[in-house]
Amino acid sequence: MSKKSKEPTSNIPEAVAPEHFVLRLYVSGATPRSAAAIANLREICETHLMGRFDLQVIDIYQQPELARDQQIIAAPTLIKQLPLPLRRLVGDLSKEERVLVSLDLSPKPLTH
């Protein structure tokens, strides 16, 4: 009697879990520029990273030690901690394509 080898029954690769993003946004108080950066980033995350992100907003006036530890010299500053590589982006995050490129995401195709 011959032994039957245990071959996989399917050639379909296992599903790869999408990457989870860990983002920190450093802002300077309740300024219009800070509010714009928060709103812009939340919109981008909800559109392109649904359920795959953790966002921490840090006010450098309330927590200056965190800004010092990360060597934040301008605000707003976005730091993408995960997935690697670490990235920094300064500004109000109003240019969506620039933010997507910085986060290593491709922009969604336009639908007509």
Sketch the domain layout of the chain as residue ranges: 21-102
**pLDDT tier for residue 18 given thresholds of 50, 70 and 90:** confident
Amino acid at 53: F
User: Edge-to-edge, what's the strand order for the sheet holding 87-90?
Assistant: 53-59, 21-27, 77-82, 87-90
pTM, two decimals, is 0.78
Angstrom distance (rounded) from CA 26 to CA 74:
9
Give Cα 35 distance to the centre of its chain.
Answer: 18
pLDDT at 110: 56
pLDDT at 65: 96
Q: Mean pLDDT, to the nearest integer, of 53-68?
A: 96
**Is the separation of the CB atoms in 92 and 33 below 8 Å?**
yes
pLDDT at 1: 52
Give Cα 107 distance to the centre of its chain.
Answer: 13
Q: Tell me if the domain spanning 21-102 has CATH number 3.30.1330.10.
A: no
pLDDT at 7: 47
- With a cut of 80, say whether residue 10 has pLDDT above it: no
pLDDT at 102: 92
